[in-house]
Amino acid sequence: MKILLLESSNRLGGWIQTSQFDDGTVFEHGPRNMRASGKSAVNSLKLVEDLGLENDIIAVPKSHPAAKKRFLYVNKTISALPSGPLGLITKQPPFSKPLALLAWKEPFKRGTPLHDESVYDFFCRLFDKELAEYAADPLCRGIYAGDCRKLSVKSCFPEVFNLEQKYGSLIRGSLLMDRDKTVPTGLVKKSKDEKWSLWTLRHGLSQITRAIVDVLNSDDRFEILIGVKCEKVDFLGPTAKIQYKGKQVEVDHVLSSVPSRNLASIIEDQHSRLATDLRKIPTVSCGVVNLEFEDFKLQLEGFGHLVPSSEPSKVLGMLYESCVFPEHNRKDGRATRLTCMLGGAWFEEYFGNPDNCDLDLLGEVAVTAVKQQLRVDMRPSRIIIRLQKNCIPQYHVGHCDIMEKLDTYIGEHKLPLTLVGASYRGASVNDCISNAKLEVEKLANRNRSS
């Protein structure tokens, strides 16, 4: 068996993009941290172990401020999001009552088996409008850079959706649900023993990409072509013909890990109905501005703050990078790193067409927001501005129906095609890796039994 990997850009890793400087600073322009708990997280830890990277892990334990403290910026004030038992019973701005009072009726509400609804409607129905505005709204901005009034609870937060479906209540469900009883070993055991919340690697997340490429390059079965775009795929019964750089190659199976709209252009000549459905999964663009301030220490300790969509700010949120991973700070320890995320589902409204957007404008908006929101009144000593176009897929209400149509079409037409990647069943790096692994295992089992 031979596996051919085509990558259209001049580097591997997709949105995983790390910059490392000679003075020790590490900046991420895409994903920056990996969740340490949950099934898909366990899978990534095993991968890190298989790649021999375990000694390069930088982990943040659950007890650290970067894991415990998240803030909201509302009414020109930064407030800590309630956490822990005390956080439930004390009133904390911007909430008008303690969280326990906003949530106490939820276990007694009758769970309605619903097909799907928006994250906003779900929170309003189970809890309260205030929780929807100040918890669900920023949460959706901090994970999907998206609008909680459009995002689907079933597709964006399937565990939460399923708890209500199964137990009739989130609070009851989280108390009664089955816990994972598998006995962990190796790095997974270490992560549980040391109660990790999140992690990265010494040289940033691109270290994973590099380690995978090293493994593939040492195996004759793999061929990696960089700077080579897959232009067209024609399915010919049980095989497929792929086209790139004027070449045509026949393959047994196509594993597509490109964004759904790219796949739509690749297959549309032969399968226009499939292409139409693939194009129904929208994406949003984000400005990512990495900032470094010399001879300055941020007094706030935590993961970062989010700005709810009700605030008149072009900023989605800011990450207090120096606090989360101080190991990625400049070696002399004299600088603070922050990352500002802008736009998302509101990008066009605030900055116009991403194709014509001025990067300096994104930088200025970020520096001004840092001044207004964190009161840091100085010019950054380093600034890196990236406009990440169409970088996060949006699972809007009805995404599960699109997925069903895609699966049905591929099944009925017996296409040798598998869909993986962030467009479909989870946008986190953990989800992308674990869903791809599941699909490859299914494929290998099918081949073995045929």
Ligand X SMILES: Cc1cc2nc3c(=O)[nH]c(=O)nc-3n(C[C@H](O)[C@H](O)[C@H](O)COP(=O)(O)OP(=O)(O)OC[C@H]3O[C@@H](n4cnc5c(N)ncnc54)[C@H](O)[C@@H]3O)c2cc1C
Ligand Y SMILES: C=Cc1c2[nH]c(c1C)Cc1[nH]c(c(CCC(=O)O)c1C)Cc1[nH]c(c(C)c1CCC(=O)O)Cc1[nH]c(c(C)c1C=C)C2
Q: Does 141 bind ligand Y (CB under 6 A)?
A: yes
CB 285 within 8 A of CB 388: yes
Q: Does 272 bind ligand X (CB under 6 A)?
A: no
Q: Closest approach of Cβ 31 to ligand Y, in Å?
A: 7
Options 406, 427, 434, 435; binder of ligand X; rule CB under 6 A: 427
Q: Does 70 bind ligand Y (CB under 6 A)?
A: yes
Helix-, strand-, coil-residue percentages of the chain, each rounded to 5:
40, 25, 35
Options 240, 258, 392, 433; binder of ligand Y; rule CB under 6 A: 392
Options 48, 343, 432, 435; binder of ligand X; rule CB under 6 A: 432
Q: Closest approach of Cβ 72 to ligand Y, in Å?
A: 8
Which 22-41 positions form the footprint of ligand Y (CB under 6 A)?
A: 35
Options 153, 258, 267, 366; binder of ligand X; rule CB under 6 A: 258
Q: Closest approach of Cβ 97 to ligand X, in Å?
A: 32
DSSP 118: B
With CB under 5 to 8 Å by kind, the binding choice for 277 among ligand Y, ligand X, none is none
Options 26, 140, 288, 357; binder of ligand X; rule CB under 6 A: 288
Query: What amino acid occupies position 19?
Result: S
**Distance (Å, whole) CA 323 – CA 336:** 9
Which 199-238 positions form the footprint of ligand X (CB under 6 A)?
A: 229-230
Neighbours of 215 (CB within 10 A): 12
Nearest to 164 by CA among 117, 113, 101: 113
Task: Characterise 33 by phi-psi region: left (phi > 0), alpha (psi -120 to 50), beta (else).
Answer: beta
Partners of 286 in the beta sheet? Answer: 343, 388
Cis peptide before 94 (omega within 30 of 0): yes
CB 337 within 8 A of CB 27: yes
DSSP 394: -
403 sits in which H/E element: helix 399-412
Q: Does 403 bind ligand X (CB under 6 A)?
A: no
Instruction: Output the six-digit token pair for 364.
Output: 């200025």
Options 191, 197, 388, 394; binder of ligand X; rule CB under 6 A: 388
DSSP 384: E
Number of residues engaging ligand Y in binding (CB under 6 A) = 20
Instruction: Output the six-digit token pair for 184.
Output: 């962990």
Tell me the DSSP string of 22-45: TTS-EEESS---EE-SSHHHHHHH
Q: Closest approach of Cβ 288 to ligand X, in Å?
A: 5
Tell me the DSSP string of 138-187: HHHHHHHS--TTTBBHHHHSHHHHHHHHHHSSHHHHHHHSPPP-PPP-HH
68 sits in which H/E element: helix 65-68
Q: Does 429 bind ligand X (CB under 6 A)?
A: yes
Which 284-303 positions form the footprint of ligand Y (CB under 6 A)?
A: 303
Partners of 225 in the beta sheet? Answer: 6
With CB under 5 to 8 Å by kind, the binding choice for 316 among ligand Y, ligand X, none is ligand Y
Options 257, 285, 313, 329; binder of ligand X; rule CB under 6 A: 257
Q: Give the range of 124-132, 236-244, 259-267, 424-432 binding ligand Y by CB under 6 A.
A: 424-432
Reduced to 3 states, what is the DSSP secondary structure of residue 390?
strand
Which residues 6+ apart lie within 8 Å of 114 measured at CB?
Answer: none
Q: Does 261 bind ligand X (CB under 6 A)?
A: no
Q: Closest approach of Cβ 429 to ligand Y, in Å?
A: 7
With CB under 5 to 8 Å by kind, the binding choice for 262 among ligand Y, ligand X, none is ligand X
Q: Closest approach of Cβ 60 to ligand X, in Å?
A: 12
Q: Closest approach of Cβ 321 to ligand Y, in Å?
A: 10
**Distance (Å, whole) CA 353 – CA 285:** 10
Q: Closest approach of Cβ 393 to ligand Y, in Å?
A: 10
Q: How far apart are the first and last CA of the chain?
A: 15
Which 211-250 positions form the footprint of ligand Y (CB under 6 A)?
A: none
With CB under 5 to 8 Å by kind, the binding choice for 16 among ligand X, ligand Y, none is ligand X
**Measured torsion, CA atoms of residues 115, 118, 124, 130, in degrees rounded to the nearest 10:** 160
Q: Does 427 bind ligand Y (CB under 6 A)?
A: yes
Options 391, 403, 415, 419; binder of ligand X; rule CB under 6 A: 391
Residue numbers of the site for ligand X (CB under 6 A)? 6-9, 14-16, 30-34, 229-230, 257-259, 262, 266, 286, 288, 388, 391-392, 421-422, 427-430, 432
Residue numbers of the site for ligand Y (CB under 6 A)? 35, 70, 139, 141-143, 145, 303-306, 316-319, 341, 392, 427-428, 430
